[in-house]
Amino acid sequence: MVELKAQTPFGDLLPLHIGDMTVAARDLGQLTVLGVFDRAGLSKALEAAHGVALPEPLQSTAEGDAQCLWFGREEALLVGPTPDEALAKHAALVDVSDGWAVAELQGPGAEDVLARLAPVDLRDSVFEPGDTLRSQLREMPASITRTETGFLLMVYRSMAATLVQELRRAMEAVASRR
């Protein structure tokens, strides 16, 4: 009988070190999309259950191991904990943990790498820690969040190898110029 083994989205493709930059896989715990239909009620329920407020567009909120990212119009992503049942009164809850690949890009030049891949301004003077957005990374739909140390990049799991390939090319180009 065949023995199946669970694999991370990136397998052995990460970590990747080029120049002073690093890309590493991140396990954020459970990822739950919140399809908002009662914004005020959901925000109160999130704060009561997980200590995080429902974020404004292009923002994120965090408390302890719980984080909530703006994820699109009338959508948020609860990162970390299993959602409290009280949230279901105010939003549709969808566990998408297995559908996303998450990596963190760090180091000097990370902004330059993403400038080659994303059609948005991610300079620290414009895109501060806690800011988040949905955009394209080359041809891949992605969620990009600035952390205190770099960028959290989320793409569909099926695009994990493509993300690594695109990051590698951009990192090599940026490193060659330094």
Rg (CA), the chain: 17
CA distance 111 to 90: 37
Instruction: For the chain, give the mean pLDDT.
Output: 96
pLDDT number for residue 2: 87
- Band of residue 6 on the pLDDT scale cut at 50, 70, 90: confident
> How does residue 4 score in pLDDT terms, banded at 50, 70 and 90?
confident
Is pLDDT of 178 > 80?
no
- pLDDT at 164 (0 to 100): 98
- Determine the average pLDDT of the residues in 149-161: 98
pLDDT band at 160 (very low <50, low <70, confident <90, very high): very high
- Domains delineated in the chain: 16-27+98-176 (3.30.1360.120), 30-97 (3.30.70)
pLDDT greater than 90 at residue 7: no
pLDDT value at residue 12: 93
Pairing type for strands 75-80 and 30-36 reads antiparallel
**What mean pLDDT do residues 8-24 have?**
96
Cα–Cα distances (Å) from 126 to 24, 31, 130, in that order, read 24, 27, 12
> What is the arithmetic mean of pLDDT over 154-171?
98
Residue-wise pLDDT for 44-96, tens only, equals 999 999 999 999 999 999 999 999 999 999 999 999 999 999 999 999 999 99
Predicted TM-score (pTM) of this structure: 0.94
Those residues with Cβ within 8 angstroms of residue 144's Cβ, 6 or more apart along the chain or in another chain: 114, 118, 120, 122, 132, 133, 134, 135, 137, 151, 152, 153, 154
Q: Which of 1-15, 31-45, 64-78 has the lowest mean pLDDT?
A: 1-15
